[in-house]
Amino acid sequence: MRLTSTTVLSFARQAGTILVTLIGLLVLTFAIGRMMPVDPVRAIVGEEADPATYQQVYEQLGMDQPIYVQFGRYLGDILTGNFGTSLRTGQPVVQDILNVMPATIELATFAIFFGAGLGIPLGVLAAVRKNRPTDHLVRMATLLGHSMPIFWTGMIGLIVFYAWLGWVGGGGRVSDFYDGMVEPRTGFLLIDSAISGDWDVFRDALNHLALPASILGLASLAYITRMTRSFMLDQLDQEYVTTARVKGLSRGRTIWKHAFANIRVQLVTIVALAYGGLLEGAVLIETVFSWPGFGQYMTNNMLTGDMNAVMTCVLLVGVIFITLNLISDLLYKVFDPRTR
């Protein structure tokens, strides 16, 4: 593709927007760290430390410096990849996140497949059958799915499908019997167990993943269904749909080949943002199911006042959303040539 002045200007504008957003995110993260009702010095030295020890650590952390100096020090650490050490685990925060993030990605990926895989067809079906019983049923189901608290749904799911029916596994990523049997190569238990050929572990891990992923995907399913229905209703009211039907085009081809094709670009953004929401919104479901992922890691560090870990987690969530928005913009150009 030949670069033109317009293309270069577009890339420069996009890069500038991303840079400004990242700077704003760093400022916000730094402010959150300073406004949290937690004394980072006291978290290090303990409640019984004497004033001299407290003051020494206070100065070592640079807390006695002006706020702009503290921010400059924080920015310098971020740019050099130094996110500090977790007070709770004693390991670098980056290493902790690398250890727990695959579990959350695995959970959120299955959840978004569940949510988008059912939500998009249901949204199209509801739009095609507008104001009919099918439409009312879909809308009522999505309203319930969006309204029910996810922690409540998770506990009910455990009671019904695990304790009562025994269809799925309980808490954690795998049963205690299989814990540690697979060498962690990628961090993704399903992939690692498949690579190792431990299919008993694979089936057990999938059994444990099914329920939390389905419940986590309910919220995204409701959102994606409602947005798909709204987008499709707008397209079905367009004149080109009527023209296609008058020309003898089948109803199914008109709906999927023409109407649905025109909402793919919008659905890319909806699904991408829903996926980002699942990655950072898995806190409650990971707590209910004792899922050793990013959400539970962030919750535990907030409860213990581990500010290095909390600030890094907040920063990572922001970077995830920025990245997903960038990917959405790139996919726009793939699906819609008019935006190139």
Q: Give the domain ranges of the chain.
A: 5-79, 93-339
Helix (H/G/I), strand (E/B), else coil: 64: coil
Ranking 136-145, 236-245, 295-304, 330-339 by mean pLDDT, the lowest is: 330-339
Residue 121 has pLDDT above 90, yes or no: yes
* 174 neighbors 185 (Cβ within 8 angstroms): no
Q: What is the percent of the chain where pLDDT is above 90? A: 11
Per CATH, which fold does 93-339 belong to?
MetI-like fold (1.10.3720)
pLDDT band at 228 (very low <50, low <70, confident <90, very high): very high
Looking at per-residue confidence, does 258 or 14 come out higher? 258
CA dihedral 309, 310, 316, 320 (to 10 degrees): 140
Tally helices (H) and strands (E) across the chain: 15, 0
Residue 217 has pLDDT above 50, yes or no: yes
Q: Tell whether pTM > 0.85.
A: no
Q: Taking Cα atoms as reference points, which of 218, 190, 192, 215 lies closest to residue 204? A: 190
- From residue 138, give the alpha-carbon distance in Å to each of 118, 229, 234, 236, 339: 11, 10, 18, 18, 33
Q: What is the percent of the chain where pLDDT is above 70? A: 91
Q: Can you give the pLDDT at residue 242? A: 75
Compute CA 321 distance to the chain's CA centroid, rounded to the nearest angstrom. 8
CB atoms within 10 A of CB 307: 22
Q: Can you give the pLDDT at residue 183? A: 81
pLDDT tens-digit map of 29-64: 788 777 766 667 776 766 777 788 878 877 777 777
- From residue 211, give the alpha-carbon distance in Å to each of 107, 135, 291, 293, 323: 10, 27, 12, 16, 28
Residue 278 has pLDDT above 60, yes or no: yes
Q: Can you give the pLDDT at residue 63? A: 74
pLDDT band at 13 (very low <50, low <70, confident <90, very high): confident
For 85, phi then psi, to 5°, come to: -110, 140
pLDDT band at 1 (very low <50, low <70, confident <90, very high): very low
Distance spanning both ends of the chain, measured CA to CA: 10
Q: What is the average per-residue pLDDT within 7-28? A: 75
Ranking 76-80, 101-105, 158-162, 202-206 by mean pLDDT, the lowest is: 76-80
Q: Can you give the pLDDT at residue 112? A: 92
Residue 119 has pLDDT above 80, yes or no: yes
Rounded-to-integer distance, Cα 168 and Cα 221, Å: 21
